[in-house]
Amino acid sequence: MKKIALHWQILIGIVGGILVGLLCIQFTGGKEFVIDWIKPFGTIFINLLKLIAIPLIIVSLIKGVSDLKDTTQLSGLGLRTFGMYILTTIIAVTIGLGLVNLIQPGSFISEDTRQEMLRSFGGEVQEKVDEAAEVQQTRGPLQPLIDIVPENIFDSMSVNSNMLQIIFFSLLVGVAMISLPFGEIKAFKKVLDAGNAIVLKIVDLMMLFAPYGVFALIATLIAEAPSFDVFKALGMYAFTVVLGLLLLVYGVYSLFVYFFGKMNPFRFFKAILPAQLLGFSTSSSAATLPVTMECAEENLHIRKDVLSFVLPIGATINMDGTCLYQGVAAVFIAQVMGHDLTTAQQLSIIVTATLASIGAAAVPGAGILMLVIVLESIGISPAGIALIFAVDRPLDMLRTATNISGDSMVALLMDRSSRDSAEP
């Protein structure tokens, strides 16, 4: 029998997880059963993906840079990639601000619901606020620049949140390699090629477990979800975010893919569907990176040297979905609390969300910490995050899938532009 494609296997896992989660919460003790006996398999799957993320970035990025002909080619690709990521981020947060001002979701929430959510999630939010405040107090204006350069690369490799430091080191090694005569690096290139093949094979083995891991993650999400009344009260806010994400992915990205990537958008989205589904399930761009790279190479036929450079960087600095959510969430919280934001404050959201997205950890929940920074920049109390905490997890899943789509789109555009420039 013909093997079922990966994206269908993952989709079956998602549907199965929803059904099992809904079934379990109907029975006494069902939630505890999911947490004790199903949730651990989802955690194991996420740990497996995180396990290979750093080795994959190091090997693929060094190999991708060293495969370039010279530093001029690297600087050209780097500037185009970074510029494209910043452009799409600004477009994303602008769409979010436009929709939230048009729909006004803050006017749909009742006072009773507001107080209920503040009581339910206030303590958990305060922990996030305190964590972000502690970090911000010790940071100078150039601290983000300092954070890029590691003092000990082995220490940086011990934590997945230090992606920018790992990328910096990998770029440094790659630049050094293309600056040396080939004879001096030939042996190390062979080691890199072998390491890359080994890492990709590990990814293939991990993907055998993907449908089961996704099943466990979705079943757990359903079992741990708050009451339906809270979701109903936040429906308009969630609708605004989802509508913005759909417009960004299937509107803006489709236009870029068609006009600049010279590809049918339907073919593009079909090619990256496994990565989108896995990103939706894990809520982590970094954890999904192995599958994103596999889809880019095998389904989109993007050159290895391009995707090895563009995608690892995108997983760290390109947070289009998260930035769109920042804009919607910040204005929504302001609306609920009775604050009428000025044009200058909303422009501040665009700038702050864009800058905060660069270097944000590509892990679940990073958007909440970013939102604290955005709210502080416009003078809104971060305690208002409690109002949206109930639906943050499912929206986090959607914006991660958006982030991954944006990474893949930019990789396609960079591949197309490099091919066009190489043609006589």
pLDDT range class, residue 137, cuts 50, 70, 90:
low
* pLDDT(2) > 50: no
Spacing of C-alpha 187 from chain mean position: 35
Per cent of the chain over pLDDT 90 is 25
For the ranges 71-80, 118-127, 335-344, which has the lowest average pLDDT?
118-127
Q: How far apart are CA 42 and CA 214, in angstroms?
A: 7
Distance from chain centroid for Cα 26: 33
pLDDT at 320: 92
State the pLDDT at residue 139.
62
Task: Kindly tell me if the per-residue pLDDT of 414 is higher than 60.
Answer: yes
Using alpha carbons only, give the angle 199, 201, 204 rounded to the nearest 5 degrees. 115
Quick one: average pLDDT of 336-365? 72
- The mean per-residue pLDDT over the stretch 383-388 comes to 71
pLDDT the model gives residue 256:
97
pLDDT tens-digit map of 163-182: 668 878 888 898 888 888 88
**292 in Cβ contact with 407 (< 8 Å):** yes
More confident residue, 17 or 107: 17
Which is more confident, 356 or 379? 379
279 CB-contact burial (10 Å; exposed 0-12 / middle 13-18 / buried 19+): buried
Is the pLDDT at 230 greater than 60? The verdict is no
Q: What is the mean pLDDT of the chain?
A: 81
Most confident region among 145-159, 254-268, 274-288, 388-402 by mean pLDDT: 254-268
Mean pLDDT over residues 322-346, rounded?
85
Instruction: Provide mean pLDDT across the span 127-134.
Output: 58
Residue 247's pLDDT band (cuts 50, 70, 90): very high
Nearest in space to 367 (alpha carbons), one of 400, 408, 412: 400
pLDDT in the model for residue 234: 74
**Cβ-defined contacts of 179-184 (< 8 Å, 24+):** 179/71
pLDDT given for residue 298 in this prediction: 92
CB-CB contact of 150 with 168 (8 Å)? yes
Lowest mean pLDDT among 117-131, 168-182, 192-206, 343-357: 117-131
Predicted local confidence at residue 90, as pLDDT: 92
Across the range 202-208, mean pLDDT stands at 82
Annotate 291-355 with DSSP letters as a single string. Answer: HHHHHHHHTS---HHHHHHHHHHHHHH--HHHHHHHHHHHHHHHHHTT----HHHHHHHHHHHHH
pLDDT recorded at residue 231: 60
CA–CA dist 393, 215 (Å, integer): 16
Q: Which of 89-93, 158-162, 338-342 has the lowest mean pLDDT?
A: 158-162
> Average pLDDT for residues 193-205, to the nearest whole number?
83
Cα–Cα nearest to 292, from 211, 330, 284, 155: 284
Give the confidence band of 396 by pLDDT, cuts at 50, 70, 90. Answer: confident
The least confident of 159-173, 299-313, 332-346, 369-383 is 369-383
pLDDT by residue (tens digit) across 84-121?
Answer: 999 999 999 999 999 999 998 887 776 776 666 566 55
Burial class of residue 4, CB neighbours in 10 A (0-12, 13-18, 19+): exposed
Say what the pLDDT of residue 1 is. 37
Instruction: Give me the mean pLDDT over the 248-271 stretch.
Output: 96
Residue 282 CA to residue 297 CA, distance in Å, equals: 21
